Amino acid sequence: PPSAHPAQTQTPRSSRMSREEQAVARARKAFETGRSKCLDYRILQLESLKRLFVEKEKVIADAMKKDLNKSEVGTQLFETMGLEGEINMAVKNLKSWAAPRPVEKNLLTISDTVYIRPEPLGVVLVIGAWNYPWAVTIQPLIGAIAAGNAAVIKPSEVCVHTAKVMEDLLPAYIDKELYPVVTGGVAETQELLRQRFDHIFYTGNSVVGKIIMEAAAKHLTPVTLELGGKSPCFIDKSCDITIACRRVAWGKYTNCGQTCIAPDYILCEPSLQDQVIAEITKAVKEFYTENPQTCPDYGRIINQRHFKRIMALIDDSTVALGGQNEEADCFIAPTVLRDVKPEAKVMQEEIFGPVLPIVPVSGLDDAIKFINKGEKPLALYVFTPDDKVVQKMIAETSSGAILANDCLVHYSISTLPFGGVGNSGMGCYHGKFSFDQLSHLRSCLIKKLNMEGVNAMRYPPHTPTKLSRA
Ligand code: NAD
């Protein structure tokens, strides 16, 4: 009977597809219409995305307060202002970034047209992390839109309220077919990873980074991995310890230490340790008052799982400052640990919390040796007025970025590539680097059919006389 025919008993294909598969299929179909390639359309989308940050400032800030106890000003400073700046830069420069890039020619191509043409890759998967959820999810999206791609956006489920705001608001501001939002946890991310993308842009920890890369390998999909790690901070005896410690305390305790480029630990000579502790203590009081738990500018640990993880890192070290905590409030006070041994628990993994170990070293050479024994970090900090010390640190170590005499602020310079090396990641972005990262730089050589005589040398028969004539 006709109804027994398999084609007639099958449910329509779309209803058998997972939500994730459907989102990817919709994005690909939208990409195939070609509208994301139009420069004016890209600019329209970027401008509209920027409007979201202005018009929904309050909604965004409320969710960030609930997720991480971030203040409204903190949210603007560390998340949305940077995104607006990136959008302005992309809008201003898009026509020149996307234009063909002529290159130097060689003798054989002197009369030809030779250039690089940046082209969209197709459908990009953006997987965000929770610590600066807007910055790390939307910044890659800005690059994806600017480069003319479609993008599936997967916010981190860990920042519950912000993920919901992204799911609700993004489709109201940008093309929801080209840039769909898929929410959910590990299962949903893994279902997304089974789909075929043209690029995967992942921000998060290195363990999951390996899962992402393995999934991408099945489709030979290129990846950008923005990972973390232990970013060292060397304080040289030559520097103004008060200023150095204010800057380190700010870099460490901002967002309750949950910053991928936060200084993870301090290296300094034993004779400096007491002074460093005293100055960090002063800075912490100045920034967060005597009681950080009631200070509106001091954040919270994202959830109790991370609270327990961080507290478990402390118990074999000596607390020199802080240590107060309250699990129900996900509160851990700004903490400093003294005389920390390299084998202590806190030195075995990225801390990602407001705990700052001091590991004594005998000097610059010893610090360099210590840093080079570990994985290549995302950021490396050195505090000294002595340029020779800075240059030696630069020359003898490797890291995603190196910053002398401050913390974190290299992130805000859109003309610098932001990314890791080795265990801290691969690929980079921000500004034009985002555009290039999510473009295919296609080589184009346009020859004419004349001047056939110059080709004689390369055509067989390859007799020695041909070469000598050349
Ligand atoms: P997370 O737990 O939110 O994970 C990030 C994403 O990975 C989420 O969308 C989640 O759904 C997905 N995910 C988690 N486990 C998975 C699994 N088993 N399989 C597939 N997908 C999975 O964030 P996190 O990893 O806790 O983020 C913190 C880390 O991110 C830190 O190591 C930090 O240094 C790093 N980080 C790096 C940067 C950077 O720019 N380099 C920025 C922010 C954070």
Q: What is the pLDDT of residues 165-215, one digit of tens each?
A: 999 999 999 999 999 999 999 999 999 999 999 999 999 999 999 999 999
Question: What is the average pLDDT across 438-467?
Answer: 88
Instruction: Determine the pLDDT at residue 10.
Output: 43
d(CA 23, CA 57): 27
Question: What is the average pLDDT across 98-117?
Answer: 93
- Probe residue for ligand 1, chosen from 67, 201, 208, 259 as the CB with the greatest number of ligand atoms within 8 Å: 208
Q: How many angstroms is it from 382 CA to the middle of ligand 1? A: 27
Residue 256 annotated in active site: no
Instruction: Determine the pLDDT at residue 469.
Output: 52
Task: Take atom 8 of ligand 1 and give the residue whose Cα is closest.
Answer: 156
Mean residue pLDDT across the chain: 94
- Token readout for 38 is 């139009």
Q: Which of 20, 79, 177, 226 is catalytic?
A: 226
Question: What is the average pLDDT across 21-43?
Answer: 98
Instruction: Determine the pLDDT at residue 454.
Output: 80
d(CA 379, CA 388): 19
Task: Take atom 9 of ligand 1 and give the residue whose Cα is closest.
Answer: 156
Q: How many angstroms is it from 454 CA to the middle of ligand 1? A: 56
Rounded to 10 degrees, the C-alpha dihedral 100/104/109/112 comes to 30
Q: Which atom of ligand 1 is nearest to the CA of 260?
A: 34
Task: Take atom 22 of ligand 1 and give the residue whose Cα is closest.
Answer: 186
d(CA 38, CA 56): 27
d(CA 159, CA 300): 12
Q: Which residues of 333-347 are buried (b: 16+ CB within 10 A; e: fewer)?
A: bbbbbbebeeebebb
3-state helix, strand, coil in the chain (%, to 5): 50, 15, 30
- Token readout for 391 is 């240059």
* Amino acid at residue number 204: G
User: Is ligand 1 within 6 A of the CB of residue 186?
Assistant: yes
Q: Which atom of ligand 1 is nearest to the CA of 184?
A: 11
94 closest CA partner among 439, 457, 461: 439
Q: Phi-psi bin for 448: left (phi > 0), alpha (psi -120 to 50), beta?
A: beta
Residue 159 annotated in active site: no
pTM of this prediction?
0.94
Q: How many angstroms is it from 191 CA to the middle of ligand 1? A: 16
Question: What is the average pLDDT across 243-268?
Answer: 98
356 closest CA partner among 281, 270, 269: 281
Q: How many angstroms is it from 207 CA to the middle of ligand 1? A: 9
pLDDT over threshold 80, residue 354: yes
Instruction: Determine the pLDDT at residue 458.
Output: 87
Instruction: Determine the pLDDT at residue 453.
Output: 84
d(CA 179, CA 24): 9
Using pLDDT thresholds of 50, 70 and 90, give the confidence band for residue 467. low
- State pLDDT tens for residues 411-440: 999 999 999 999 999 999 999 999 999 999
User: Is ligand 1 within 6 A of the CB of residue 200?
Assistant: no
- Among the residue ranges 69-73, 306-310, 349-353, the one predicted with the least confidence is 69-73
pLDDT over threshold 70, residue 468: no
Task: Take atom 27 of ligand 1 and give the residue whose Cα is closest.
Answer: 204
User: Is ligand 1 within 6 A of the CB of residue 378?
Assistant: yes
Instruction: Determine the pLDDT at residue 377.
Output: 98
d(CA 20, CA 27): 11
Instruction: Determine the pLDDT at residue 2.
Output: 34
pLDDT over threshold 80, residue 9: no
